[in-house]
Amino acid sequence: MKLELVLVTLAVAFFFSTPAQAKFVDVSATTNGATILVTPAGNGESLIGLAATVQLVVTSMFDGTPVPGYPLQDLWLWDHDVTTLGTCGGMPPNVADANTDAEGRTQISGIMIGGGHSQTGLTAYGAGSPSSDVIPIFIVSPDINGSLSVDLADLGIFADDFNDPTYQFRSDLSHDGTEDLGDVAIMAEHMGERCP
């Protein structure tokens, strides 16, 4: 009985002391925000290029202390509300740049690879659990339907939106507040692209 109790105590202590296995974390996120062009070929805009790098802080949900060395692959961004994003290879659209530092900090600054659109903002996830923060980063893509290829289906949606007198965020590929010839050029530039 004593040996079982000691083994359980050691297992629990190991679970909570190993960052890669710590499942009980809080993630907070801050950014300047932006609308970003995402493409299946990965040649869209980067968060850092738009001055919208997302700063993440990972803390223990038990005592609020920073979690150093938290694995980058367990921190990512995803659609806040409606899942209209598609990602190449089934991976989240963007993971952290590095494991967390001694203060539990890291960032997400790269290029997102995928398609779809999001007008509701993104959420940071840690260990598969969403943070409560809504990150003001909005997604547009020439792969409007999120099928991971820019094809005739997207062109049909784009044409319908372009001819609609009401503003359609998902087709404002230049994210300038209007659907115009600049958006047509972006659609044409990316036509035929697929995930690598």
The tens-digit pLDDT sequence of the chain (196 residues) is 433 322 222 223 333 444 444 457 888 888 898 999 999 999 999 999 999 999 999 999 899 999 999 999 999 888 877 667 888 876 665 889 999 999 999 999 999 899 999 998 998 988 888 888 889 999 999 999 999 999 999 999 999 999 999 999 999 999 999 999 999 999 999 999 998 8
Residue-level pLDDT at 91: 63
Count of domains for the chain: 1
Q: Is residue 2 part of a domain?
A: no
Structural Rg of the chain based on CA atoms: 20
Coil, helix or strand at residue 154 = helix
Q: Is residue 97 part of a domain?
A: yes
Q: Is residue 4 part of a domain?
A: no
Residue-level pLDDT at 7: 26
Could you tell me which of 85, 118, 193 has the C-alpha nearest to residue 149? 193
Q: Is residue 11 part of a domain?
A: no
Residue-level pLDDT at 9: 25
Residue-level pLDDT at 81: 72
pTM of the predicted model as reported, rounded to 2 decimal places: 0.81
Residue-level pLDDT at 139: 93
The residue type found at 142 is P
159-168: long-range pairs with CB below 8 Å, 24+: none
Q: Is residue 99 part of a domain?
A: yes
Q: Is residue 43 part of a domain?
A: yes
Give me the domain span that covers residue 136: 22-190
